[in-house]
Chain A
Amino acid sequence: MLHDTGHSFKILSNCVSSQVQVHAKYGGVVPEVAARLHIEKILPMIQLALKQAKKKIAEIDYIAVTAGPGLMSSLMIGTETAKTLALALNKQLIRINHIEGHLLSITEQLEFPAVGLVVSGGHTQIILVKDYLKYKLIGETRDDAAGEAFDKVAKILGLGYPGGPAISVAAAKVESVKSIPGIEIKLPRPMLDKVGFEMSFSGLKTSVLYKWNELVKILSPENLDKARNLMAYEFQKAVVEVLVAKTAAAALKFKAKTIVLGGGVSANKWLRSEMLRVISEKLPDVNVLMPEMKMAGDNAAMIAQAAYFHVLKKDFIEPTKLKPDPGWELVS
């Protein structure tokens, strides 16, 4: 729930159902597919958000909802609930693109043009933001999303789940042991030298797989532990180097005043520090904005924040006309 403070906004409540925090990856329910759970949870979650914000539902001015991209089964529950509430309470309704939510998960205002990097388990996109509500996809991964690559590499190395934090923790242990005598761990930087903003992380994953299988054959258990951390370190470095370089190149080309990060992987500390370091070095006039940690992953407050800018431009939709769009590409 968001409160308009006149020239900006304040988050009153941001509730995440425990259902989505359960990463039951290895057996059990994958959170997003449990349509029945979504139905059971959505009204109690709305009530909780109202309670935490100390508001009554009649005091709400606008209702915003994610209409895509995503699974139809999940999107429908959200959109039907929002439509019903908007009709019953006679409130204006705003449809928001999930990616737009990630782009606007920061609290600062953007200066335009801006370049956004949305990076998560499911998405890795570079988006040109000409103004609020004016977006253009200029590059994306052609295979695995960066977060997905973290996850799969963590599995290859036996580092557990979720993969992002597991890789970062292992990589941080490298400070003391930078090398193993006779072993060099070097991974490619996919697409780095190619013009344009397309990215690729699948080959990097395969490269880790083959190098790791070789190391398992030849190293002692003690050295293998060191190698695991070194591999995590080199992998994280490779992914971040590509993400930062592509974002910087886009910012340069489009003369961006702001770079904005969003998505679960934007919580990665190495990505955050490298983005700040490289941009302050190469493009000192460009301001880098990053979401608070709790706003990086999927959440509802980012949807409300994006909706704030739609309200300013009076961009509403008739409840009866709102349809979920599983493949909605952010363009305008």
Chain B
Amino acid sequence: MKVITKNEQQTIKLGEKFGQTLKGGEVVLLVGDLGAGKTTFVKGVAKALGVKRVVNSPTFVLMKIYVIKNKELRITNLIHIDTYRGLDIGDLKNIGAVEYFKRKDCVSFVEWGESLEDYLKKEKINFKKIVIKNISETKREFNFIE
């Protein structure tokens, strides 16, 4: 499924819609260049899950964990990971990120996540992939791949 967003607000809205479909246990790989809107999309997801804190880029801190307090959801944690600085699967194991991939009460979003595909397939961990293309300075194409 492909969706075009015309600006940042629409990307947040799209993330919000996607967030409403989450049931827990999902691992989502976000693939796209610098400035594609990966963090912006996760902002929308966080909004849908009721996160009050500001969701900003995890590039330098590598992983951010947002606690979900919505009792109607079985999701308790939104995990926001960024491998931009060259993190491989060994690094993700070191910081404890991989443990979250197997938890049904967590949803994990990995920016620059394409390098994890082989590992996830080998470990039989289900994942979704969202490929984002820059069309113009503000316009983006989101391609949702199951």
Chain A interface (Cβ within 8 Å of chain B)?
24-30, 32-36, 69-73, 120-122, 140-145, 147-148, 151-152, 155-156, 202-203, 205-207, 209-210, 326-327, 329
Residue pair B137, A206 in contact (C-beta under 8 Å): yes
Q: Which residues of B contact A28 (CB under 8 A)?
A: 86
Q: Which of A27, A71, A142 contacts B86 (CB 8 A)?
A: A27
Residue pair A205, B34 in contact (C-beta under 8 Å): yes
Highest count of chain B CB atoms <10 Å: which of A33, A121, A147, A329: A33
Q: Which residues of B contact A327 (CB under 8 A)?
A: 53, 64-67
Residue pair A30, B87 in contact (C-beta under 8 Å): yes
- Complex CA gap A72/B137 in Å reads 37
Residue pair B34, A71 in contact (C-beta under 8 Å): no
Residue pair A121, B62 in contact (C-beta under 8 Å): no
A24-B86, A29-B91, A33-B94 known; A144-B57 Cβ under 8 A = yes
Residue pair A32, B96 in contact (C-beta under 8 Å): no
Q: Tell me if B61 is interfacial: C-beta within 8 Å of chain A.
A: yes
Highest count of chain A CB atoms <10 Å: which of B61, B64, B65, B87: B61
Q: Tell me if B50 is interfacial: C-beta within 8 Å of chain A.
A: no
Q: Tell me if B63 is interfacial: C-beta within 8 Å of chain A.
A: yes
- Complex CA gap A29/B85 in Å reads 9
8 Å CB interface, B42-77 against A: 53-54, 56-57, 59-67
Q: Tell me if B39 is interfacial: C-beta within 8 Å of chain A.
A: yes
Residue pair B56, A210 in contact (C-beta under 8 Å): no
Nearest B residue (CB) for A24: B86
- Complex CA gap A35/B54 in Å reads 28
Name the distance in Å between A331's Cβ and chain B's nearest Cβ.
12
Residue pair A72, B96 in contact (C-beta under 8 Å): yes
Q: Tell me if B40 is interfacial: C-beta within 8 Å of chain A.
A: yes
A202-B35, A209-B35 known; A71-B62 Cβ under 8 A = yes
